[in-house]
Amino acid sequence: MGAHVIVLGNEKGGSGKSTTAFHLAVYLLSEGFRVATIDADSRQQTLTAYIRNRRAWAKEKALSVLHPTHFHLPQSRGDSVSKNKMMEFEMLRQAVTEVENDIDFLVIDTPGFDTHLTRLAHSLADTLITPLNDSLIDLDVIARLNPDTAEIIELSHYTRLVQRARKERLAIDGRSIDWVLVRNRLSTLSSRNMRLVQAGVENISARLGCRIADGIAERVIFRSLFPIGMTVFDSLDEDWLGGIPTMSFVSARQEYRRLVDALALPHDSQSGGGRRASLSATGGQLEHHLA
């Protein structure tokens, strides 16, 4: 029991949460781990669409590809807020209970806005990944910065959400959440904005106790991979990809491998064994605290 939980979180759309979630899931599968995925974004459902595309492409091309066990959690839309929260928690609990004894990693993709499911997912995280486009606009999701010095003026709503999740998690089972800010779409040109972003990220890391990792550049290859549900960790075979692999594909794979190394995920198949109670039991305690 005790699968390692990876949560992708950010209250800004277009940062690469779903793409990163799916690539991590496929990478872990390719390394021989047992993986389940949960899509908690009932509005966009990008991760679910990615997996659906993969299944359809594999069937059409008669390909033998790896698939995670996948769950999609729709948002409850009843008139009672308390009943909606109870229903959403029960959906999450059932999904976790179904797989927690049979997987090594659970990857959860969350929406770009605050929901009850978002808070529950964050509190379950062992590793929290927040992808950020490399700009001051995206850093504003974490903290409001002085535009001249990049010093922190005020923490954001999302950061306070994460701080609460870390506090609740520590109170429940004494474990900390490893929060990693992943800088995507890094600029190759030096500029004042680039220097301010770098200083801002470093100030945020020091203030909040989170880590920083370089992520993925803007690449057209991801727009080509999504419709067929493939990733840079899949085979380079032309039949799998639907075309001849490009240098962009190879470079993207190298970037993702460096990101995975920076995450420092557990390498043994008993990543959580003996370290805490089951996820469903921990989730029940978190539901009590977050009520």
Burial class, 207, CB count within 10 angstroms (exposed 0-12 / middle 13-18 / buried 19+):
middle
Written as tens digits, the pLDDT of the chain (291 aa) is: 479 999 999 988 778 899 999 999 999 999 999 999 999 998 889 999 999 999 999 999 888 899 999 999 987 777 788 888 888 889 999 999 999 889 999 999 998 888 888 999 999 999 999 999 888 888 999 999 998 888 999 999 999 999 999 998 888 888 889 999 998 877 655 677 778 888 999 999 999 999 999 888 878 788 888 999 999 998 767 666 666 667 778 888 999 999 999 999 997 644 444 344 455 555 555 555 444
Question: What gap in Å lies between CA 16 and CA 46, rounded to an integer?
Answer: 10
CA 167 distance to own-chain centroid: 20
What local confidence, expressed as pLDDT, does residue 171 receive? Answer: 86
pLDDT attached to residue 243: 63
Backbone dihedral angles phi then psi of residue 228, each to the nearest 5 degrees: -105, 0
User: What pLDDT is stored for residue 136 in this prediction?
Assistant: 84
User: What is the reported pTM?
Assistant: 0.89
What the block records as the tokens of 112 is 């770009």
Beta bridge partners of 8: 109, 129
